[in-house]
Structure formats: structure tokens, C-alpha cells
A and B are shown apart, each in its own frame.
Chain A
Amino acid sequence: QVQLLQSGAEVKKPGSSVKVSCKTSGGTFSNYAISWVRQAPGQGLEWMGVIIPLFGTATYAQKFQGRVTITTDESTSTAYMELSSLISEDTAIYYCARDGSSWLNYWGQGTLVIVSS
């Protein structure tokens, strides 16, 4: 059974960075793409980027280019999403989601990031 376990909630100052982790279990970590999706309070879903651990290169939504970095650690089957230069509009729940049969099959429980001075 595939499970994705994310790190805990964060409170950050504007201008700082946040790094969220997503530890996976079940299945072969390297073979499946892992995306990051965020959801601002009361809003819809917004895709940020994706990485396939086997290839190690990430692809990002243009909106986040230069500000987001997605990486993986195959030794721990963990994916990471780092977002820099935080502003209040980055306050959201951040989800990791792994592919299975097609996009975004399995989801983590979400990590709340609050950006506030």
C-alpha cells in the first residue's frame, strides 16, 4: 500500500524559505513521478512542479520558476519541495502526490505553511 507522509506545519517570515518533505512507502520510489500541489485557504488546487526520482530532474510551473526547488533522496524514499522568497500569498496547504496509473494517484496528508510577519 502506497503512503505519503509529509512534514509538519510551518510558520515563516516573509522573505524566508520553507522546505517540506514527503516520505513515501510502498512501491518502487524511483519509478514514479512525484508532484507538488498547493491549495490556498478556501481556494482550488494549483500544481507547482514534478520530479521523477529515476531521472532526478524536475519540471516546474512557470509561475514558480526560480523560486521552487523539488528534489529527492532515494536512500530514504523522500521528496522535498523548497519554496523561497516567501510572501503572504504563499500561505497554503502544500501536498505531495505520486503517480500510479496516470497522474496524481496517491496524496500526502498536506503541510500547512503560514507566511506571516
Chain B
Amino acid sequence: ETGVTQSPTHLIKTRGQQVTLRCSSQSGHNTVSWYQQALGQGPQFIFQYYREEENGRGNFPPRFSGLQFPNYSSELNVNALELDDSALYLCASSPGIFKNIQYFGAGTRLSVL
């Protein structure tokens, strides 16, 4: 177990709704990254947060947004859900210096109907 916890485990939403996913990072890790993993594909980088600031973003539209809190936990918000947003959303935490050593949680499986 990595110590990275995500909630909820599963979520079903309808098109146009908004969703918030949550992540608690591993103890001592101040960097959180979010990825989207479609079925049968590798994870795609959404964005990263370091010390409560966005620290890099992948090729995702602005309706994907996030937050990091002082305790380094994080939220991923997705507005105006589309059918293609159905995927496994993964959170990864890493120690500040080695941001590319990333430890993943079990993910939140989002289904958009």
C-alpha cells in the first residue's frame, strides 16, 4: 500500500453534471499529480500541484480544475461532464524534490451516462 487514498471509489454521473474527486497524499509528500486512465490505455497527465499551486498541466480543457490544501490533500473538479470523461482518475503523490517518483492511489472510477 502506498498510503495514497482516494475517494470515492466509484461514481456515476450524468452528462452536464459536475464532480469532485478527493485525494490524500502519502505522509511527507507535498506534491500531488492527477491522471486520467481510459479503459485499455495508459494514464494521461492532467495537472500537478506543489505547495498549493498548480505546477504544470497536461492537454486537458479548463473545465478540469484542482485544488491543493495546506495538508497537501487535493481535489480534482470536472465541470460540464461529457461521456468521454468516463475513466479511472488516479492521484499520485511524490516528495517535493523527486517529483517524478510518483506513488499512486487506487483511483476513482467515474462513469458518465
The reply to whether chain A is a binding partner of chain B is no
